[in-house]
Amino acid sequence: MMKKPLWRDGWLMAICIGRIFMYMNFMVYAACLPILRSEWGMSATQAGSIASGFSICYAASLAVASWLADHFGARRIFVLSAVLSAATSLVFGFFARDYLTTLLFYSLIGVTQGGVYTPGIVLMAERFPVVRRGGAVGWFIASTSLGFASSLAVSGVLIALGGYKLAFIGTGILPSAGALILWITLRRTPNVVHDLSTGISLTAVLKNGRNVRSLVAGYTWHCWELLGMWAWAPAFLAASLVFSGTASLRSEEFAAYCVAAMHIVGAVASPTMGHLSDLLGRRAVLTGLGAAGALLSMIFGWLIAAPLPILVGLMLIYGFVVIGDSPVLSAAITEVVAPNRLGSVLAIRSLLGFGAGAVSPVAFGLVLDYLRFGDHAALAWGPAFMVFAIGGFGATWYAWRFRRP
């Protein structure tokens, strides 16, 4: 008997919808960045530090939530994190009004939001068999991309209506709806707590598992490229439009919509690449996507003066490629780690991956500041984007080392 397609699984789709609302304020800072740099007089390094502050706290949150999922159950931590994230989003929306308060409250969202990601991967592993897991994790991560796209689209509208303050408030309220949806959906889902006294130790898993080490390292480099690109893509598009003579406010609004489209494409990439890896194998898909991402990072920043259709088209391809390996990496890690150690391994992976993602936006900003050619000059943006190619090459190397069990 043929199983129903994943998009008809009500439990999975409800979780995806809830997560879309949870991530409504995830990209509001990136969408507002050109305005904030102008109004607050921030340097590129300061601007990158806010994104990095969020990423550091988010990485810590992912690690702690993953560890707690092993000890107290993924469902319980997932729902609790959703409620706390909704609360901190309200605080950010109403009280972030300058560099310091934005750094503080945006980081506070990062502290609470990690629990609606990695414990969710554990939930996917608990519910779906290996032969369907790539697709299921793909849908789960697609909801993240749709949340980012919605965040950018809503931010673009609110910026046009009332500036960054209205954007902060509007996107700060919406995660409360997501928390309610997730609580209703998961209230009857079993909370599985594994016996941690059985099986091999976490140290042995990491020491003797070449596949585990390769997947953790590959994810680290994947995050370096992905999170850095996400942090700076809206500002780059705005700079490109200003470079071509477009009015400043229009450039910021249009950039937000374009990057939203990139995340919609990413939402297509996640289930597509996850399902493709179910069919062709994780290694082949990871290697191809890693190499393509490295190539795009090498050339994208040099195209600031390119015709707009070419720039936007290439950006959409870029967005597809750099997110497409995320569900494949996550599905693969669930296949090589025992269930009672999965949360702990995800914790280590999260610390390394989002730690790298915290550093790369700052490295990008340092390149812009150091070259001193101005934010709209190709000679500054080109080398800055090449910083992200380091991650693409690293992800490719470790994907090639992976051997599916």
Q: So where are the chain's domains?
A: 9-193+204-401
List C-alpha distances in Å: 330 to 216, 219, 253.
Answer: 10, 9, 33
The top-level CATH class assigned to 9-193+204-401 is mainly alpha
**CB-CB contact of 326 with 353 (8 Å):** no
What would the mean pLDDT of 207-233 be, rounded to a whole number? 87
Radius of gyration of the chain (CA): 20
- Please state the φ and ψ torsions of residue 200, each to the nearest 5 degrees: -80, 160
**CB-CB contact of 110 with 55 (8 Å):** yes
Using CA atoms of 91, 93, 99, 100 in order, give the dihedral in degrees to the nearest 10: 0
Burial tier of 299 (Cβ tally within 10 Å: 0-12, 13-18, 19+): middle
At 168, list the tokens. 């902060």
- Of the two residues 194 and 364, the one the predictor is more confident about is 364
Report the mean per-residue pLDDT for the chain. Answer: 86
Q: For helices 74-95 and 44-72, what crossing angle results, to 10°?
A: 150
What would the mean pLDDT of 233-239 be, rounded to a whole number? 80
Q: What angle do CA 243, 244, 248 make, to 5 degrees?
A: 65
Helical spans, DSSP H, in 187-281: 202-208, 210-243, 248-280
- Whether residue 65 is predicted with pLDDT greater than 80 in this model: the reply is yes
In whole angstroms, give the CA distance from residue 105 to residue 168. Answer: 11
At 399, list the tokens. 């994907």
In whole angstroms, give the CA distance from residue 182 to residue 169. Answer: 22
Q: What pLDDT is stored for residue 372 in this prediction?
A: 60
List the one residue out of 161, 155, 95, 147 whose CA is nearest residue 116.
147
- Of the two residues 288 and 257, the one the predictor is more confident about is 288
Q: pTM to 2 decimals?
A: 0.81
Averaging pLDDT over each range in 4-13, 146-155, 296-305, 363-372, which range is the top one?
296-305
What would the mean pLDDT of 379-401 be, rounded to a whole number? 91
Q: What pLDDT is stored for residue 197 in this prediction?
A: 66
CB atoms within 10 A of CB 192: 15
**246-260, 288-302, 386-400: least confidently modelled range:** 246-260
- DSSP assignment, residue 75? H
CB atoms within 10 A of CB 113: 27
Of the pLDDT bands very low, low, confident and very high (cuts 50, 70, 90), residue 105 is very high
List the one residue out of 354, 26, 13 whose CA is nearest residue 175.
26
- Position 206: which residue type? L
Q: Within its chain, how far is the Cα of 281 from the centroid?
A: 23
- Whether residue 1 is predicted with pLDDT greater than 50 in this model: the reply is no
Per-residue pLDDT tens digits for 163-203: 889 999 999 999 999 999 999 999 989 998 877 666 666 66
At 250, list the tokens. 């229009």
